[in-house]
């Protein structure tokens, strides 16, 4: 008689954003007249249309697929050379980082890569995560049987090292007491919007090399960095080639949440004994993945064209204007706020006497604004709340006005 993977049953409730969607659906069903009034600043989904340079590249690629001479079947396992080359050049070599095109693995998005990467590591690997944290890192390890058991009191898994990120440590975690094998770091951070300085990130790279850990570095929000001394990639740090894997996404810098494209960088020096992680990940891609669509990879190439770059700078600036509206509006309304300067996320303390989900309900009912409860990202997120800058400008302004009036 077949049996299921019991680790799945250890996951508490459903995925955070599914829960939010259900809560909002229940609210609109009970209050149909408010349906069109709801402003969603919860999930990190973009609202601006694809830039003209990308639309042009997509149409051209579609036309190629309609002609036998230029039709493209299966893509190369690891991505088209044309895309891997412009990524290596623009995101790494242009910043003085030693990353080659063949160390880049093109995929359909950072969420898949972040959740699948744990597969190439030993089942008894000990993971460390920031707390609060993007739920995918922990949940994918729970499913793989690596997280131990869920403790509903502490809201933690027994075998995961949680590194609290709070106002007290400026949302920058300390090195854990227990030595981890895998360290998930995301900077600019989701959900707190915090960043690490180059010196701080160098500290993590040195730590990982010292203890023999791998840093799984999620740099999905890199395009939102506005300040000096904030590293754009972990490979700006010396020694990162022997301890770090980096995940990148086109979702937020180019509005590809519904287009699906990302990539993972694994330097060839990253090894356990003789075994390179690059070769294991290549094997996984070859066996369990069939490449990102040709037309989408052509859209990705257009992100790096001069027109694409100029148009996307404007798009990022548009969202960062929203971030300022949220940050300054909430501050003037008396909230304690952080993030929003190098990241599209604003992280606020919930008002006295209200926990994260209570504030969620309050905001939904009173202002008809949807945000994300901080506690959904981990126990240290309790008492915090995340708003995103990905709405339209008009709705963002309206949402903040309503919050001010609350």
262 assigned to a ligand binding site? no
Query: Residue 389 has which token pair?
Result: 């800058």
Q: If you search the block for the tokens 């994300």, which residue do you land on?
A: 372
Residue 294 among known ligand-binding residues:
no
Which residues within the stretch 289-328 sit at the binding site for its own copies (CB under 8 A)? 289-296
Nearest approach in angstroms of CB 349 to its own copies is 28
Applying the rule CB under 8 A, the residues between 144 and 183 that interact with its own copies are: 145, 181-182
**According to the annotation, is 159 in a ligand binding site?**
no
Shortest distance in whole angstroms from residue 264 CB to its own copies: 14
Q: Kindly write out the interface string for residues 9-28 of this chain, putting x where it contacts its own copies by CB under 8 A and - elsewhere.
A: x-x--xx--x----------
The SS3 call for residue 163 is: strand
**Facing residues of 148 across strands?**
none
From the CB of 75, what's the least distance to its own copies, in Å? 6
**38, 143, 333, 397: which one contacts its own copies (CB under 8 A)?**
143
Distance in Å, CB of 400 to its own copies, minimum:
20
Residue 110, marked binder: yes
Nearer to its own copies, 15 or 82 (CB): 15
Binding its own copies by CB under 8 A: which of 25, 52, 81, 406?
Answer: 52
- Alpha carbons 97 and 203: distance in angstroms, whole number: 18
Spatial neighbors of 179 by CB under 8 A, at least 6 apart, are 126, 211, 213
Rule CB under 8 A: choose which of 91, 103, 131, 139 binds its own copies.
Answer: 139
Stretch that binds its own copies, among 66-74, 338-346, 359-367, 371-379 (CB under 8 A): 66-74
Name the token pair of 394: 């008009």
To the question of whether residue 224 is assigned a binding role by annotation, the answer is: no
Is 251 a known ligand-binding residue?
Answer: yes
Q: Which two tokens stand for residue 302?
A: 């257009």
How far apart are alpha carbons 388 and 368 in whole angstroms? 15
- Which one, 104 or 295, has the nearer CB to its own copies? 295
Distances in Å between the Cα of 96 and the Cα atoms of 91, 151, 232, 368 are 9, 45, 11, 46
Three-state SS sequence of 377-401: HCHHHCCEEEEECCCCHHHHHHHHH
Question: 231-250: which residues touch its own copies (CB under 8 A)?
Answer: none
**Contact residue for its own copies among 166, 257, 305, 355 (CB under 8 A):** 257
Residue whose C-alpha is closest to residue 305's, from 102, 47, 110, 55:
55
Closest to its own copies by CB, 15 or 89: 15
Number of amino acids touching its own copies (CB under 8 A): 83
Residues in region 108-137 near its own copies by CB under 8 A: 108-109, 111-112, 115-116, 119-125, 135-136
| Region for residue 260 given its phi and psi (left: phi exceeds 0; alpha: psi -120 to 50; beta: otherwise) | left
Helix, coil or strand: residue 77? coil
Contacts for 80 with CB less than 8 Å, ≥ 6 apart: 106, 294, 297
288 binds its own copies (CB under 8 A): yes
Q: Which is nearer to its own copies, 166 or 272 (CB)?
A: 272
250 is in an annotated binding site: yes
Exactly one of 259, 266, 364, 367 binds its own copies (CB under 8 A); that residue is 259
Is 101 or 337 the residue whose CB approaches its own copies more closely?
101
- 277 Rama sector, left if φ>0, alpha if ψ -120 to 50, beta otherwise: alpha
Q: How far apart are the first and last CA of the chain?
A: 57
**Which residues are known binding-site members?**
15, 44, 74, 110-111, 134, 190, 221, 249-251, 260, 290, 386
């Amino acid at each position: 008689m077949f049996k299921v993977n019991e680790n799945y049953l250890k996951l508490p409730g459903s995925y955070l954003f599914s829960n939010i969607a259900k809560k909002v659906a229940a609210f609109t069903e009970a209050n149909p007249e408010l349906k069109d009034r709801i402003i969603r600043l919860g999930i990190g989904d973009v609202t601006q249309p694809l830039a003209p340079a990308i639309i042009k590249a997509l149409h051209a690629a579609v036309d190629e697929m309609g002609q036998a001479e230029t039709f493209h079947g299966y893509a190369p396992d690891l991505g088209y050379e044309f895309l891997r080359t412009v990524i290596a050049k623009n995101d790494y070599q242009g910043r003085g980082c030693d990353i080659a095109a063949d160390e880049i693995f093109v995929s359909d998005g950072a969420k898949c890569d972040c959740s699948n990467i744990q597969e190439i590591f030993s089942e008894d690997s000990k993971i460390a995560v920031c707390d609060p944290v993007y739920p995918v890192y922990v949940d994918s390890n729970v499913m793989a049987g690596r997280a131990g058991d869920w403790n509903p009191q502490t809201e933690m898994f027994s075998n995961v090292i949680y590194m609290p990120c709070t106002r007290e440590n400026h949302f920058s975690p300390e090195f854990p007491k227990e030595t981890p094998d895998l360290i998930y770091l995301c900077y600019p951070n989701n959900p707190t919007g915090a960043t690490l300085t180059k010196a701080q990130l160098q500290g993590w790279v040195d730590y990982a090399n010292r203890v023999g850990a791998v840093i799984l570095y999620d740099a999905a929000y890199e395009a939102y960095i506005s300040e000096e001394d904030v590293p754009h990639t972990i490979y700006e740090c010396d020694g990162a080639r022997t301890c770090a894997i980096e995940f990148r996404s086109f979702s937020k810098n180019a509005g590809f949440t519904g287009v699906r494209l990302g990539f993972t960088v694994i330097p060839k020096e990253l090894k356990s004994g003789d075994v390179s992680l690059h070769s294991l990940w290549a094997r996984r891609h070859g066996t369990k993945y069939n490449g990102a669509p040709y037309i989408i990879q052509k859209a990705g190439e257009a992100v790096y064209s001069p027109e694409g770059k100029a148009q996307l700078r404007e798009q990022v600036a548009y969202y960062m204007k929203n971030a300022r509206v949220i940050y300054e509006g909430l501050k003037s309304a008396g909230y304690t706020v952080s993030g929003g300067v190098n990241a599209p996320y604003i992280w606020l303390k919930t008002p006295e006497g209200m926990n994260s989900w209570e504030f969620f309900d309050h905001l939904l009912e009173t202002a008809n604004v949807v945000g994300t409860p901080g506690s959904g990202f981990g126990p240290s997120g309790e008492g915090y709340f995340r708003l995103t800058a990905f709405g339209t400008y008009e709705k963002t302004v309206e949402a903040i006005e309503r919050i001010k009036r609350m």
